Amino acid sequence: MLEGTFVWGIFVADSSKLFPNFFPVGLYTTRELAIKQIETMPREYNYQLLQMPINKDFTYYHKKNGKLVGMNAIHHEHFHYKDESN
C-alpha cells in the first residue's frame, strides 16, 4: 500500500465483550509513532494496533446471514500487557 493511504489506529481491547470489543484511542501516520505511543500507555490494558486504509471500506459480512461480523484485510497487532504474568 502506498504511503499516506492508511493510518495506524491504537485501540484499547476488552476481551470480556463481544465484537466490537475495542475502542480507538489514537491515530498515527506511521507505525513507528504508534508503537512509541503504545510503549508509554498503562500496562493494565491490552491494545491493538490496526493499519486502516483511507477511503476504502473494510467491513466483513457473514456469508450466510449477512451480519456484520468484523473487518476484512486489516493488518493488526496485539499488545497483551494486561495478560502478562510478571
Q: What is the pLDDT of residues 40-74, one digit of tens each?
A: 999 888 899 999 999 888 888 888 998 887 777 77
- E-assigned strand segments in the chain: 6-13, 22-28, 46-53, 59-61, 68-71, 75-79
| Of residues 3, 16, 2, 7, the one with CA closest to residue 75 | 7
pLDDT for 77 beyond 60:
yes
Domain ranges of the chain: 6-79
Say whether 5 sits in a helix, a strand or coil: coil
The owner of cell 459480512 is 61
